[in-house]
Amino acid sequence: MSEDIWRWEVPSADPDQPDLVGHVVRTADGWVVFDPPAAPGVVSALRALGSVSGILLTGGHHDRAAGALRARVGMPPIAAPARDVAGLVAAGVLVDQALAEGDRIFGFDVIDLPTVQNFGAECAFFDPRRRLLVVSDLVVAGAHGLMHYGEAFHADVTAVSLRAHLKRLMELEPTILLAGHGQDLTEDSARQLAELYRRG
């Protein structure tokens, strides 16, 4: 994608669902992995990029592979939302840092997005210097534009219920938006978020 951002995809088993995506972003501290899925070639690709400084999880997703990946790329620390730490530890993932609203890690501000209807809570990460936003499920960039969680996953979650979350992300005015599913937005992200917010 760029010299500072690398991504991999895991095709969805359901053709109506967006593909699963993981990202690696170069920071001042080295490469940081976001929500790594279990996918072939990830370890070799990360080793080719260089030292991995950390693994950041937006939530306690069962379809991520942070614990297995960590041992194969030099044991970088794993950070995850505080509310998900117990579940991750029970699943065998050693979490080194519990994250909460307002924390800052590897140059990213931590933004808490609590549970709304059937949307499960997650954290987003925002690098204000590069205007780079990393999210998991709240928004998905599909072939026909940006969709909110309910639209993208055919879930019983209305746009109105997500307006507060969408407003928080919109007000960050990101240039780049990296989502845990679907396509990435590398320009005009703020406008698309604003349009999605107004649709609600």
Q: Are 138 and 97 in contact (CB under 8 A)?
A: no
User: Which residue, among 110, 88, 91, has the nearest Cα to 99 in the 3D structure?
Assistant: 110
Rounded to 5 degrees, φ, ψ at 80 are -150, 160
Residue 170 has pLDDT above 90, yes or no: yes
Unique residue bearing structure tokens 């599909």: 142
What whole-number distance in Å separates Cα of residue 103 and Cα of residue 66? 21
Q: List the single range of 15-24, 58-67, 189-198 with lowest mean pLDDT.
A: 58-67
Q: Are 157 and 118 in contact (CB under 8 A)?
A: yes
Residue 67 has pLDDT above 90, yes or no: no
Residue 176 has pLDDT above 60, yes or no: yes
Tokens for 55?
A: 């693994």
Q: E strands, 47-156, where?
A: 52-56, 78-81, 97-99, 104-105, 108-113, 122-127, 132-134, 139-142, 145-148
Amino acid identity for residue 16 in this structure: D
Q: Are 57 and 88 in contact (CB under 8 A)?
A: yes
Tokens for 32?
A: 């940081």
pTM of the full predicted structure? 0.94
Unique residue bearing structure tokens 């995506």: 21
Residue 2 has pLDDT above 80, yes or no: no
What count of Cα atoms within 13 Å lies in the side-chain half-sphere of residue 36?
29
| Matching CATH number, 5-199, of 3.60.15.10, 3.20.20.80, 1.10.1060.10, 2.60.40.2700 | 3.60.15.10
Tokens for 90?
A: 């029970």
Q: List the single range of 43-47, 125-129, 162-166 with lowest mean pLDDT.
A: 43-47
Tokens for 3?
A: 């010299």
Query: Which residues, including other chains, have CB under 8 Å from residue 14's CB and lie 6 or more apart?
Result: none
